[in-house]
Amino acid sequence: MRALVLGGGGREHALCWALDQAASVSHVVCAPGNAGIAEVAEVRAVDAGDPSAVVSLAGDVDADVVVVGPEAPLIAGVADALTDAGVPVFGPTAAAARLEGSKEFAKDVMVSAGVATASYWSGTSAEEAREALSGFAAPYVVKADGLAAGKGVRICGSRQEAEEAIDQMMVDRAFGAAGDRVVIEEFLAGPEVSVFALCDGTTTRILETARDYKRALDGDSGLNTGGMGAVSPAPDLPEAFRAQVREEVIDPVLAEMAARGTPYVGALYAGFVLTAQGPRVLEFNVRLGDPETQAVLPRLASDLGEALLAAATGRLADRPGLDFYDTHCVTVVLASGGYPGEYRTGKEITGLEEAASVPGAAVFHAGTRRDGGRIVTAGGRVLAVSGRGSTVAQARATAYQAADAIHFEGLHRREDIAEL
Ligand code: AMP
Ligand code: GLY
């Protein structure tokens, strides 16, 4: 089959890399891609967020399946446009993508489906929101309902800080319309785990678990980022965790989405907090995680192309479950100095080949571009370096050995990813 992948980050490089290795896939195209993706796929300079441009590209390249990496094209209706054009697409419709696009909607689905999550209040009046804080205790969690580029969640130590967060979102409209509704919720304490399910509307296949490291600096300090590293499987999980996630979260949510007339097709990302009372869902995303995907896919033994096509065409039930190698994988993100704040781009990257030649390592490009004969930085997160091993310590050593080979001006990475 011929696969078209939309997006241009580390997650999409890992998807293209795994599809390129799949026996069922003869050709991979990616739009817009990046310098690393160009080594495993044909890249096309098409705007992944423009539904009609994507439909014509899918026709041009004769795609048998389109795999949508990031959430923005989904929320813009790219999957709807492809479905209308008769092209199988791995990714939800805009209506189903509201599981990520609206926190209130996600909460409503969870409550209807009986999924364990933080208790919450939601509303559109700043005055009522301030009053609603009385129903909660510090630390207060205040969230803009809509998408706010990862900045719409505030964890506030005091009631005064929480009231300021409400005013910033609802009165000052710091995130525009995304903050016209806020969700206030119970604070959940415990380690976080990400679980991804491939869904075909009714049936799911759960991928191996991962943990990501969201803070910019060692010891989980500094600002929240898109993710500075990951490890798969997430450490210290009970044996039955994935089965529990399927039975108590993914299957009920799929049934609820189908009952609402918006069946869910694509990757469903459930973020959990492992509280003392048991796992609680923190959020859903309508895509795979980044950088967790770069730690999960190197462990996949099954054919990714067949699995994604089966999900896109409602045939997952006809297929066997997914197999994973019994290994560990650790991913270290190499970022531009200053990220997630301001940073410079256009810095030459060296050592990529040496890093990729480390046995067990894979180098995924996140923000890179080709500049003549050189590869230069082009984003905040620049590369994700993954290492596999039969123990976490070995996987970690491999990832850092490969990462040590790579240099660019201002390179910043965490030294404590997956440290035991
Ligand atoms: P989100 O933007 O929804 O991914 O949230 C960003 C981060 O905020 C999450 O990964 C958590 O670390 C934290 N967070 C969000 N909601 C809660 C909550 N109810 N309790 C504790 N931490 C939370
Ligand atoms: N790594 C977190 C995310 O992809 O949302």
Looking at the CA of residue 189, tell me the nearest atom of ligand 1.
Answer: 21
pLDDT (0 to 100) of residue 236: 84
Compute the distance from residue 141 Cα to the ligand 1 centre, in Å: 8
Q: Is 141 in the pocket of ligand 1 (CB under 6 A)?
A: yes
Dihedral sign for Cα atoms in the order 48, 152, 178, 344: negative
- 11 and 290 in contact (C-beta within 8 Å)? yes
pLDDT (0 to 100) of residue 151: 82
Compute the distance from residue 74 Cα to the ligand 1 centre, in Å: 22
Q: How many CB atoms lie within 10 A of CB 310?
A: 22
Residue nearest to atom 5 of ligand 1 (CA): 153
Looking at the CA of residue 103, tell me the nearest atom of ligand 1.
Answer: 3
Residue nearest to atom 5 of ligand 2 (CA): 289
Q: Is 285 in the pocket of ligand 2 (CB under 6 A)?
A: yes
Compute the distance from residue 227 Cα to the ligand 2 centre, in Å: 6
Compute the distance from residue 158 Cα to the ligand 1 centre, in Å: 17
- 212 and 227 in contact (C-beta within 8 Å)? yes
What phi, psi does 224 have (nearest 5°)?
Answer: -70, 140
- Radius of gyration of the CA atoms of the chain, in A: 21
Candidate from 194, 282, 290, 292 with most ligand 1 atoms within 8 A of CB, to mutate: 282
Q: Is 118 in the pocket of ligand 1 (CB under 6 A)?
A: yes
pLDDT (0 to 100) of residue 420: 66
Looking at the CA of residue 227, tell me the nearest atom of ligand 2.
Answer: 1
3-state DSSP percent of the chain in helix, strand and coil, to 5: 30, 30, 40
Spell out where 237-357 has E strands.
265-275, 278-285, 328-336
Tokens of 344: 């410079």
Instruction: Please state, in angstroms and as integers, the Cα–Cα distance from residue 200 to each residue in 142, 319, 335, following that order.
Output: 33, 12, 35
3-state secondary structure at position 251: helix
Looking at the CA of residue 292, tell me the nearest atom of ligand 2.
Answer: 1
Compute the distance from residue 330 Cα to the ligand 1 centre, in Å: 22
Candidate from 74, 193, 194, 211 with most ligand 2 atoms within 8 A of CB, to mutate: 194
Q: Which long-range contacts (CB under 8 A, 24 or more apart) does 131-138 make?
A: 132/184, 133/159, 133/162, 133/163, 133/184, 136/184, 136/185, 136/186, 136/187, 137/187, 138/162, 138/187
- 74 and 48 in contact (C-beta within 8 Å)? no
How are strands ordered across the β-sheet holding 278-285? 204-206, 192-200, 265-275, 278-285
Q: Is 250 in the pocket of ligand 1 (CB under 6 A)?
A: no
Compute the distance from residue 252 Cα to the ligand 1 centre, in Å: 22
Pairing state between β 411-412 and 368-371? unpaired
Q: Is 7 in the pocket of ligand 2 (CB under 6 A)?
A: no
pLDDT in tens, the chain (420 residues): 999 999 999 999 999 999 999 999 999 999 999 999 999 999 999 999 999 999 999 999 999 999 999 999 999 999 999 999 999 999 999 999 999 999 999 999 999 999 999 999 999 999 999 999 999 999 999 999 999 877 899 999 999 999 999 999 999 999 999 999 999 999 999 999 999 999 999 999 999 999 999 999 999 999 889 999 999 999 989 889 999 999 999 999 999 999 999 999 999 999 999 999 999 999 999 999 999 999 999 999 999 999 999 999 999 999 989 999 999 999 999 999 999 999 999 999 999 999 999 999 999 999 999 999 999 999 999 999 999 999 999 999 999 999 999 999 999 999 999 996
Q: Is 283 in the pocket of ligand 2 (CB under 6 A)?
A: no
Q: How many CB atoms lie within 10 A of CB 201?
A: 20
Residue nearest to atom 8 of ligand 1 (CA): 153
Compute the distance from residue 173 Cα to the ligand 1 centre, in Å: 20
